[in-house]
Amino acid sequence: MADQTEVYGNLLRQFSGKQVLVIGDLMLDTYLHCGALGVANEAPVPLLEALRQEDVPGGAANVACNLAALGVATELIGVIGQDQAAESLCSRIKASGVVLHELVTERPTTHKTRILSEGHYYLRVDDEGSSTLSESEWEGLVQIIEERSRQHEVVVISDYAKGVVQAKLSPVLARSCPKNSTILADLKPSSVLSWKGPLDVLTPNAKEAQQLFSGLKGGSLPPPQGLAQTLSQKLNCCVVLTQGSEGMTVASSAGALWNYPAVSQGAWNTSGAGDTVLAVLAAATACGAPIEQAARLANLAAGLAVSTPHTHAVSANELAGALVQL
């Protein structure tokens, strides 16, 4: 155990100074903490009193903030609107140490508000635009991506189906990323099926993996190990299949397989846990760590992320303190 702790401790220390570029859908997660007052007079619904509001970066912004909290020099590319949510989001991204390259559009910034009271999650309200990027907006985004991706050997794609990740993004990366670059992605199944460019690591959750299997092969669903291996072979990339309380299954493109049980101090909130996994995988990859080491560390970090009451960027110090659980 001591030798293993030392190995992963050394890996964590290597994160500082590494560089990663994140591209994806930016969003603001707002947590409205309330006190319970009873039942409303006009309808049989809970009556809550707003006590405090907490804004944190979500989506691709959460991936980037997780990387920065690990000590990685992080750049982030995404789209925002011209609204108060954008102001709050941008200020928090920059305060985390992430270098932000934002494209400002007419669409509203994706904003998710979660209403909580005394440990209960009552409601989520989403405020976002459903329109696609205009041709001029897409060209502006591509210009930023081409300029910054040339400077990075590790690129992360965070897809929340809000318009940044499209089928035509993959050829942009293929022509602009350095020859030996590594691309890690959390893609929606529809994006995976239309992806034509390089892809080294894919991080689907169980539901997404099942949808992908149906789209790529069909037939009876295999158990998680077989599911991860099938997807890895079909997509010719490493698949890190996240399964919540069931842990993580990893299948390499060479056919190797690893299983990691969940490591958690009492799951409370799963929001953003996948972002944490993606960030740790990218940080470890930037250090040259093999996928089995990267995934094991990412699994530990996910346990820390779900043990907090909100979207949370797991720091290098937190992860170092939890190494004894490996």
Name the DSSP class of 96.
T
Contact in structure between 287 and 11 (CB atoms under 8 Å)? yes
Using alpha carbons only, what angle is made at residue 238 by residues 271 and 19, rounded to the nearest 5 degrees? 70
End-to-end, the C-alpha distance of the chain in Å comes to 8
The torsion angles phi and psi of 82, rounded to 5 degrees, stand at -115, 75
* Candidate list 55, 159, 186, 275, residue with the active-site label: 275
Ordered strands of the 73-80 beta sheet: 99-104, 73-80, 19-24, 154-158, 182-186, 201-202, 238-242, 248-251, 257-260
Per DSSP, what are the bridge partners of residue 127?
111
The neighbour count for residue 115, using CB atoms within 10 Å, is 18
Per DSSP, what are the bridge partners of residue 111?
28, 127
Contact in structure between 93 and 62 (CB atoms under 8 Å)? no
| Residue 13: closest CA among 316, 301, 321 | 316
d(CA 7, CA 15): 13
d(CA 88, CA 91): 5
d(CA 103, CA 147): 14
Any idea how long the chain is? 326
Radius of gyration of the chain, Cα coordinates, nearest whole angstrom:
20
d(CA 249, CA 231): 12
Catalytic annotation on 275? yes
Active-site positions read 275
